[in-house]
Chains A and B, each alone.
Chain A
Amino acid sequence: AQKVTQAQTEISVVEKEDVTLDCVYETRDTTYYLFWYKQPPSGELVFLIRRNSFDEQNEISGRYSWNFQKSTSSFNFTITASQVVDSAVYFCALNGQNFVFGPGTRLSVLP
């Protein structure tokens, strides 16, 4: 069975603060992919990153960074110097046998 858990339902931060969104996954597949998507109020899903299970190299892209720890089945996402435009729901997803989404974390960045 596959499962994605995002323990943080809602997070509020003040602009310019750093924020980390947690994601823990379960899968029996040896090969799988992990994703982060952003869903702004418009509803459209915005792809942020994909990481395969063999690549534990962490990545930084602008204000975004990701920490993939296979040993703890975690794939956390950090926004540095958050901005109001970062306010959205963020979904962690797992693609093994099926494509499974986590419950989402609603991030509110206050001015």
Chain B
Amino acid sequence: GAVVSQHPSRVICKSGTSVKIECRSLDFQATTMFWYRQFPKQSLMLMATSNEGSKATYEQGVEKDKFLINHASLTLSTLTVTSAHPEDSSFYICSARASWDSPRAFFGQGTRLTVV
């Protein structure tokens, strides 16, 4: 089956620094990628949707200047948390679809970010 690889799986960074998370579709071309955030004991909340070659669409309440998303190729999307603060500590998960209306989304393994 299709595989989405997310890296790193865990990262600890100092407050004020930036962290980049990569999401790669390994065996298919992902026209659309999604980034989710999950706080402890809560559900996945969609942060943004990115389509290859265009700007990401952010959900209401998500700061686009803080969470920079780049989807420069059909197999790679990156999420950069800029000037991270402890409240940004969370579990981030990406998912990828072959097309915007594809019924099946494939999820990465997730990245646990801890900001100290």
Binding site for B on A (CB under 8 A): 33, 37, 43-45, 47, 50, 52, 91, 95, 98-104, 106
Residues of A close to B46: CB separation below 8 A: 98-100
- Cβ 8 A contact of B109, one of A44, A91, A99, A101: A44
Q: List 22 A-B contacts (CB under 8 A).
A: A33-B104, A37-B107, A43-B91, A43-B112, A44-B110, A45-B107, A45-B110, A47-B106, A47-B107, A50-B104, A91-B43, A95-B103, A95-B105, A99-B46, A99-B95, A99-B105, A101-B43, A102-B43, A103-B42, A103-B43, A104-B43, A106-B41
User: Is the beta-carbon distance between A50 and B110 smaller than 8 angstroms?
Assistant: no
* Given known A99-B34, A99-B105, contact A45–B43 (CB-CB < 8 A): no
Count residues on chain B whose CB falls below 8 Å from chain A CBs: 18
Q: Which residue of A lies closest to B112 (CB)?
A: A43
User: Is the beta-carbon distance between A50 and B103 smaller than 8 angstroms?
Assistant: yes
Residues of A close to B41: CB separation below 8 A: 106
Cβ distance A25 to chain B, nearest Cβ, rounded Å: 14
Residues of B close to A45: CB separation below 8 A: 93, 107, 110
Cβ distance B62 to chain A, nearest Cβ, rounded Å: 14
B26 at the interface (CB under 8 A from A): no
B44 at the interface (CB under 8 A from A): yes
Beyond the given A33-B103, A43-B91, could you list 4 further A-B residue pairs with CB under 8 A, ordered by the A residue number?
A: A43-B93, A47-B106, A95-B105, A101-B43
Within 8 A of A (CB), among B38-84: 38, 41-44, 46
Cβ distance A52 to chain B, nearest Cβ, rounded Å: 7
Within 8 A of A (CB), among B82-116: 91, 93, 95, 103-107, 109-110, 112
A44 to B106, alpha carbons, bound, how many Å? 11
Cβ distance A8 to chain B, nearest Cβ, rounded Å: 13
Cβ distance A106 to chain B, nearest Cβ, rounded Å: 8
Cβ distance B69 to chain A, nearest Cβ, rounded Å: 16
Cβ distance B40 to chain A, nearest Cβ, rounded Å: 11
Cβ distance B101 to chain A, nearest Cβ, rounded Å: 9
Residues of B close to A37: CB separation below 8 A: 107
